[in-house]
Structure 1
Amino acid sequence: MTDQLEETAEPSRLAAGRVLGMERRSAMDAVRMRIGMAISLGLLKPGERLPDQEDVALGLSVSPITARRALASLAEQGVVVRRRGRAGGTFVADSPPTDVLAELSASPAESQAVNRLVDRRLLFECAVTHYAAVNATPEQLDELDRLTREMAESTDWSYYHRMDEQFHQLVGTASCLDTAIEVYHETLAELYGYFIPYPIDKLHKSNHDHIALVAAMRAGNVEEAVEVSRKHVDILHRTMFMGLAQGGLPAGP
């Protein structure tokens, strides 16, 4: 009963910011789908160890209970396996059932809904970046640099996603757009609710955009900063799960 109450009160961005086409999927089922699709698309390999349960929750923006229940469900269906001991943890099964993986996929309506959400973020991102390039303080630029280093040194998708989220939230704050920042942060949070795990090398490649953005902001080059952000977000149309299923190449948020 406690688990049901806590999942109903799910504090994640996924539950707080649903978009048309995805409102009927529970937080737990959404996590199952995101991990299942990452496996189907080869982003998570057979035998690969997932981060600890708490890190899975943080990386996918859900509560620990939701992550635990989702992983337990996937284990029951043979998609992942759990091993005890010092070298234990949760691992992608060597041969996940193809019928189960087929069920863990996004519908066309869900893909269209996320595409619309990407477009919404694209509009906000360009405006936010413009004003952040004008208004960011030296201290904020230093913190953005620090976050790019954290992402460059990250060894798994969970930690990378958390640093990535802090990075973009700080860009929003640096814009000094008052209440408009809240709307940007809400849109950003909604979109983060639909990311799936990516190989860390692909995420490190995506981090090059963050580094270029900070460099343009330090130089006061507003036009270049906006163009970096525009490309960084626009590529999500081809690299989130709705594009990956059609042969796109993975990249980070």
Structure 2
Amino acid sequence: MTSQQEHGAGASPIGAVALAGIDRRSAMDAVRLRIGLAISLGLLKPGERLPDQQDVALGLSVSPITARRALASLAEQGVVVRRRGRGGGTFVADDPPRQVLAELAASPAESEAVNRLVDRRLLFECAVTHYAAVNVTAGQLDELERLTGEMAECTDWSAYHQADEQFHRLVALASGLGRAVDAYNETLAELYAYFIPYPIEALHASNRDHIALVKALRAGDVSGAIDVSRNHVDVLHKTMFTGMMGGAREY
């Protein structure tokens, strides 16, 4: 999307940022991996409809072309099926090939990279939250609250993820930390490049942290806001795919 239109709002292309120097995985293969992992982990269920292609691209911060190619490749391998006409779309196959899903696995290097990114974001998150609690404006608070409401109304992981990114970037902007915000946003984009689809119920539960954070920011509760942000990010060690691999489903 121009650079944003080519790769998703404010995010960097997966192949160029997060995975470069790890496994040199192409952007298309990275999308295949992320969808395949979600299926293996039971986060995407057999027969479940994926968002439209454009929404898949936005939700995974890649270009529409990359999303289209990745979905076409998964369809060719029987991981997803495409149906035309009314009620059509792209659906998780009822019985995805086990061998293909086994190949769509993160390497130990990628898992370690994710954990390092979570730790880096944790440091940044606490810093921007501290200063946001001091510097946030009334208008920014209202927009943050609006975004929590939007996330509460989301019905799929793609729409939620887009609003979630806007929320966290706005908290960073509210900190007033200048160029340090750019460093935060770079780390956020790198970590989001590993985002995999989650059931919307789990994402709605995560949104409760956002709601609590806005409440603390409105109250000027620096310590309380930092506690919310620290716990919100630290749990990613367990809830991102690196902490969930033991729960992969057997097909």
Shorter-chain TM-score bucket reads over 0.9
Match of 1:227 in 2: 227
Secondary structure at 1:212 match in 2: helix
1:33-52 to structure 2, matched below 5 A, reads 33-52=33-52
Q: Determine if contact 2:19/2:25 at 8 Å carries over to the other structure.
A: no
TM-score, normalised with respect to structure 1: 0.92
Secondary structure at 2:15 match in 1: helix
Secondary structure at 1:132 match in 2: helix
Secondary structure at 2:246 match in 1: coil
Secondary structure at 1:246 match in 2: helix
Match of 1:61 in 2: 61
Q: 1:9-35: per-residue Cα shift (whole Å, max 9, x none)?
A: 867442342257635111000000000
Secondary structure at 1:91 match in 2: strand
Amino acid at match of 1:214: V
- TM-superposed CA distance for 1:148, in Å, is 0.1
Match of 1:140 in 2: 140
Unaligned stretches of 5+ in structure 2?
Answer: none
In 2, distance between residues paired with 1:114 and 1:131? 26
In 2, distance between residues paired with 1:236 and 1:20? 22
In 2, distance between residues paired with 1:69 and 1:46? 21
Q: Is structure 2 residue 31 aligned with structure 1 residue 31?
A: yes
- TM-superposed CA distance for 1:226, in Å, is 0.3
Q: 1:94-130: per-residue Cα shift (whole Å, max 9, x none)?
A: 0000000000010111100110011000000000000
Amino acid at match of 1:86: R
1:93-172 to structure 2, matched below 5 A, reads 93-172=93-172
Structure 1 residues 84 and 192: CA distance shift in structure 2, 3 A: same
Q: Please report the RMSD computed on the Cα atoms of aligned residues, expressed in angstroms.
A: 1.6
Secondary structure at 1:14 match in 2: coil
Amino acid at match of 1:240: M
TM-score, normalised with respect to structure 2: 0.93
Q: 1:35-89: per-residue Cα shift (whole Å, max 9, x none)?
A: 0000000000000000000000000000000000000000000000000001100
Q: Percent identity?
A: 75
Match of 1:3 in 2: none
In 2, distance between residues paired with 1:221 and 1:21? 41
In 2, distance between residues paired with 1:51 and 1:144? 25
Match of 2:14 in 1: 14
Amino acid at match of 2:68: R
Match of 1:186 in 2: 186
Q: 1:203-224: per-residue Cα shift (whole Å, max 9, x none)?
A: 0000000000000000010000
Q: Determine if contact 1:10/1:27 at 8 Å carries over to the other structure.
A: no
Secondary structure at 1:18 match in 2: coil
Structure 1 residues 63 and 174: CA distance shift in structure 2, 3 A: same
Q: Determine if contact 1:19/1:114 at 8 Å carries over to the other structure.
A: no
In 2, distance between residues paired with 1:85 and 1:233? 41
Amino acid at match of 2:180: A
Secondary structure at 2:155 match in 1: coil
Unaligned stretches of 5+ in structure 1?
Answer: 1-5, 249-253
